[in-house]
């Protein structure tokens, strides 16, 4: 599974034609491309190309994956050692609480489980493209994760440049960040959700279990599922993840 649908150094992103970027996004999309998503990507590309012409360095990724959550961040922008998380709500005129919580959760997940993010500032930004401007208020938690910043498409560049100017440093380890190990310890439900959404179990790394155990468990689950389908049975599986002792109940 690709870490992102599209990624490039900033100069490469600015040189790439909009149609080329859109084509790459559509090709790597795991699902059928709907009109709303297509229009959202087109809008994002235009906004980012416009504002980034004033910046001479950085790295941009579209649809960067969060394996533990089974979700993708609209954009990750790496600039001056800072991780900017850009969540777009194209056409929105409001900053809704659930959208703010969404982008903040992305930041917390990276901080806690993404190795290259452990010592970096992480800045979650919610961009409601048609909203009014808010005065910029910066609050940083002890773990270096900023409280979410809300802005529209026109003052996004101001937010990025101000944060980078005050908290950034010289850093170009873009590929190291993109390819960083992701080491969550998911709950059983979270692991199952990620697996169900099409992520390979290899994308979810555990510090307390080896690849062999994970693969054997996955193979067993698939075997039981296929067997239950053939026999029209309803199966309930329970696992002791500490001892890897399998328990299955409720075969009806």
Residues 17 and 138 in one domain: yes
Average pLDDT score over residue span 114-124: 95
Residues 199 and 139 in one domain: no
Structure tokens at 34: 């709907």
Is residue 183 assigned to a domain?
A: no
Q: Which of 81-95, 137-151, 181-195 has the lowest mean pLDDT?
A: 181-195
H or E segment to which residue 18 belongs? helix 18-28
Question: CB neighbours (10 Å) of residue 85?
Answer: 23
- Domain-ending residue, one of 127, 148, 178: 178
CA dihedral of residues 60, 61, 66, 72 (deg, nearest 10) = 120
Give one DSSP letter per residue of 97-131, joined into a string: HHHHHHHHHHHHHHHHHBGGGTTS-EEEEEEETTS
Residues 10 and 94 in one domain: yes
Identify the DSSP state of 78: E
3-state secondary structure (DSSP) of residue 156: helix
Is residue 1 assigned to a domain?
A: no
- Domain-ending residue, one of 178, 209, 225: 178
Residues 16 and 106 in one domain: yes
Is residue 118 assigned to a domain?
A: yes
Is residue 130 assigned to a domain?
A: yes
Residues 224 and 118 in one domain: no
State residue 71's pLDDT score: 86
Residues 93 and 152 in one domain: yes
Residues 208 and 241 in one domain: yes
In tens, the pLDDT along 67-104 reads 777 789 999 999 999 999 999 999 999 999 999 999 99
Structural domain containing residue 213: 188-249
Question: CB neighbours (10 Å) of residue 15?
Answer: 10
Residues 96 and 122 in one domain: yes
H or E segment to which residue 65 belongs? strand 59-66
Q: If you search the block for the tokens 């084509």, which residue do you land on?
A: 23
What total of structural domains would you count in the chain?
2
pLDDT at residue 61 is higher than 60: yes
State residue 243's pLDDT score: 44
Q: How far apart are CA 191 and CA 82, in angstroms?
A: 29
Q: How far apart are CA 184 and CA 138, in angstroms?
A: 28
Residues 15 and 42 in one domain: yes
Q: How far apart are CA 131 and CA 19, in angstroms?
A: 27
Residues 192 and 172 in one domain: no
Residues 10 and 99 in one domain: yes
Residues 108 and 68 in one domain: yes
């Amino acid at each position: 599974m690709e870490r992102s649908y599209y990624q490039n150094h900033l100069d490469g992103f600015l040189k790439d034609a909009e149609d080329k970027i859109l084509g790459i996004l559509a090709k790597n999309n795991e699902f059928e491309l709907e009109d709303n998503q297509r229009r959202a990507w087109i809008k994002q590309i235009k906004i980012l190309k416009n504002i980034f012409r004033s910046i001479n360095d950085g790295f941009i990724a579209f649809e960067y994956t969060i394996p533990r959550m089974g979700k993708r961040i609209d954009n990750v922008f790496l600039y001056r050692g800072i991780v900017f998380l850009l969540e777009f709500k194209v056409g929105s005129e409001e900053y809704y609480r659930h959208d703010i919580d969404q982008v903040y959760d992305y930041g917390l997940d990276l901080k806690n489980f993404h190795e290259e993010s452990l010592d970096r500032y992480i800045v979650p930004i919610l961009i409601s493209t048609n909203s009014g401007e808010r005065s910029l208020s910066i609050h940083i938690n002890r773990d270096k994760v900023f409280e979410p910043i809300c802005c529209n498409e026109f003052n996004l560049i101001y937010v990025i440049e101000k944060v980078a100017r005050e908290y950034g440093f010289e850093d170009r380890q873009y590929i190291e960040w993109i390819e960083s190990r992701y080491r969550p310890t998911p709950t059983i439900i979270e692991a199952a959700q990620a697996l169900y959404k099409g992520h390979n179990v290899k994308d979810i790394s555990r510090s307390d279990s080896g690849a062999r155990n994970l693969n054997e468990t996955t193979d067993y689950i698939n075997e039981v599922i296929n067997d239950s389908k053939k026999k029209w049975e309803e199966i309930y599986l329970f696992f002791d993840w500490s001892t890897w002792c399998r328990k299955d109940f409720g075969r009806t």
